[in-house]
Amino acid sequence: VRKFNPNLLLLHARAASYGVGIPSYNKNNHPFTSDDVSLAIIHNGRIPEYTDLKDKFKTFSNCDSEILLRIIAGTETSEIEDETITDYQKTRLSGIKKIWSLADAAHMAVAVGEFKPDGTRHLWLWRNDHRPLWLADMRETLGQILVENNWKNINSKSDFTEMQKETPFLVSLGK
């Protein structure tokens, strides 16, 4: 990994769900990336609506997680009216809202990383009641933000901070 000198890295250890892509077929493995490789997604969960949605969005794998990327990457306009956030943020939030409208029975914890042409990086995280999502802001000590969506019995005295949100939030990582 060091030879690539990443400034945003999404990793995922996949346990495949029945019927949504064989892990040994590498195209089914995370992260999934946009055509220009500026947007990447990892997902823990299951999307029962995948069979219907894969006919509406061009996918390259047989994994239900990829459909989330195709929905958010394909959302180019926003219907959100909020003067406190940028047009870019409104568009991404519209994409997330579209995911929820198309996959309302899904179970998910999702991380989306994005590199913008101006060099800024963004990390979008969201979940629903069916999957946990934890965020450890270790920028001061390790220079990293760690995201985990599968911790079960974390010690209450841990230095890690639980960030379980009902709505999406943005962590802007700067340049």
- Angle at which helix 66-73 crosses helix 87-102, to 10 degrees, equals 140
Phi/psi-derived region of residue 121, left when phi > 0, alpha when psi is between -120 and 50, beta in every other case:
beta
pLDDT at 80: 86
Torsion of CA 126, 8, 150, 21, to 10 degrees: 90
- What's the rounded mean pLDDT across residues 114-119? 87
3-48 confidence digits (pLDDT tens): 766 666 666 665 665 655 666 666 777 788 898 989 999 888 889 9
The pTM assigned to this predicted structure is 0.74
Structure token digits, residue 147:
């995201």
- Enumerate the β-bridge partners of residue 32: 41
Could you tell me how far CA 127 lies from the centroid of its own chain?
A: 9
